[in-house]
Amino acid sequence: MVDLDNVSAYRQFDKLGMLDHLHAFPEQCEKAWQKVLKFELPHLHAKMSNVVILGMGGSAIGGDIARRLAMAESKAPVWVHRDYGLPAFVDESTLVIASSYSGNTEETLSAFTKSLGIRSKKLAITSGGKLQQLAQKEGIPVFIIDYQAPPRAAFPHSFIPLVGIFQKLGLIEDKSADLKEAVDILKKLSGDVIETNPLASNPAKQLANKLRGHIAVVYGAEMLSEVARRWKGEFNENSKAWAFFENFPELNHNAVVGYEFPSDAKERILVFMLRSSSLHPRNLLRYEVTAELLTKAGIAYEFVEATGKSALAQILSLVLLGDYASFYLSMLNEVDPTSTDAINLVKQRLAQSPASSD
């Protein structure tokens, strides 16, 4: 088994440099923010009644979290569409934002292409590919991602630009101060979770060490519900591990009843409860009661606290912590955190079958 404090052992598995992207996370948040502040938007906000973000996987999670931020302030609903085609409500008053890091995501291209037949307002976020070509051909504004990384490691460039765009459109208030707080916290947190900080004082290594040999189930409430989704995806892709996520308060209406069976699964489950003191008091109480139920059922759990005062700082601090934990788990699992062979196989098989006209 890899010793997490033996940094030289990482090179055997992290051959494509996922760790370098984790190191760059705070700086990339700053760069993405400065870039989106300079990004010129046409009058997309005129008569805009709703927003639909198109995306999949690592390109969609930024939309999920930005949507949760907007829910607290925006009167215009924000929807994240992870599928082919478009929701039927999309019309000329809808702002459609297509987010695809590669620009070649099949489902996103399907949805974006369909939107071209509707007089909706449109915007694209991508590093290139077919999406950039199509958008530029149609005269649609494109926010270009100029950071080279696997889509999930380019999270600052799929999330922060949406925050800036929402701010420019008047959907949310100015987040400049919150972003500064977040980056300051990220820089400090990076020192705590960096690979040279030993297991004894490294919270990300400790989480990974506890999770080794277990299935992660990640709980979150409100703004942290989509961070729980992010953790789940990172454990899947980086660690090559089973993982699931659930949201409060919904999980108290079903999931808690399922703690009993199968009984032999209990010792293989580890529940992470992402928590913040700024959550609704009733949800905080639900965390405590759920912990009692987990203890009674003999299922291990861990509270993981967000850092910072603003929602943006709390979100980003937990995202970075989860990213590092998933990396360290990949080392314990002795797998390459960058490769996604199973996803590539699905894409190859789909490519062998002609796409429909949608």
Active site residues: 237, 253, 347
Structure tokens at 43: 């009058």
Write the DSSP symbol of residue 140.
-
Question: Contact at 8 Å (CB) between 195 and 329?
Answer: no
Angstrom distance (rounded) from CA 294 to CA 258:
11
Angstrom distance (rounded) from CA 318 to CA 176:
19
Structure tokens at 117: 């037949």
Angstrom distance (rounded) from CA 120 to CA 141:
13
Angstrom distance (rounded) from CA 188 to CA 166:
27
Distances (CA, A) of 219 to 198, 224, 281, 320, 333: 27, 8, 16, 17, 23
Question: Contact at 8 Å (CB) between 276 and 314?
Answer: yes
- Residues with Cβ within 8 Å of 190's Cβ and at least 6 positions away in sequence, in order, are 23, 25, 26, 320
Task: With H, G, I as helix, E, B as strand and everything else as coil, classify residue 59.
Answer: helix
Question: Strand 300-305 and strand 269-275: pairing?
Answer: parallel
Task: Please state, as a whole number, how many other Cβ atoms lie within 10 Å of the Cβ of residue 87.
Answer: 12
Angstrom distance (rounded) from CA 126 to CA 108:
11
Angstrom distance (rounded) from CA 201 to CA 91:
53
User: Prior bond to 87 cis, omega within 30?
Assistant: no
